[in-house]
Amino acid sequence: MKIKEEKGFTAVDVSIAIIIIFIFTSILAVLFFQYNNSSQELERKSQATYYAIAEIEKIKNSDFENYIGQGVSNIETVEEGNVQIQNESGITEDTEYYKTITVEDYAYSRTGKKQDLVKTFKVTISYKFNNKTQSVELSTVKTKGN
User: Would 110 be classed as within a structural domain?
Assistant: yes
Strand ranges (E), the chain: 76-86, 92-105, 118-129, 132-143
Sign of CA dihedral 52, 100, 84, 116: negative
Per-residue confidence (pLDDT) for residue 43, from 0 to 100: 92
User: Would 61 be classed as within a structural domain?
Assistant: yes
User: Would 1 be classed as within a structural domain?
Assistant: no
By residue range, what is the domain housing residue 19?
A: 11-143
> How large a percentage of the chain has pLDDT more than 70?
68
Q: How many residues does the chain have?
A: 146
pTM of this prediction?
Answer: 0.69
Cβ–Cβ < 8 Å for 103, 78: yes
Q: What is the pLDDT of residues 40-57, one digit of tens each?
A: 999 999 999 998 898 888
How many domains does the chain contain in total? 1
Check whether 33 has a pLDDT greater than 80: yes
- Closest CA relative to residue 83, chosen from 50, 129, 39, 105: 50
Which one of 25-29, 44-48, 139-143 scores highest in mean pLDDT?
Answer: 25-29
- Give the 3-state secondary structure of residue 31: helix
Per-residue confidence (pLDDT) for residue 29, from 0 to 100: 96
pLDDT band per the 50, 70, 90 thresholds, residue 91: very low
- Give the 3-state secondary structure of residue 121: strand
> How large a percentage of the chain has pLDDT more than 90?
27
User: Would 76 be classed as within a structural domain?
Assistant: yes
Per-residue confidence (pLDDT) for residue 45, from 0 to 100: 93
User: Would 2 be classed as within a structural domain?
Assistant: no
Check whether 72 has a pLDDT greater than 90: no
Averaged over 125-138, what is the pLDDT? 90
Residues 6+ away with beta carbon under 8 Å from 138: 49, 52, 53, 55, 56, 122, 123
Averaged over 17-46, what is the pLDDT? 95
User: Would 4 be classed as within a structural domain?
Assistant: no
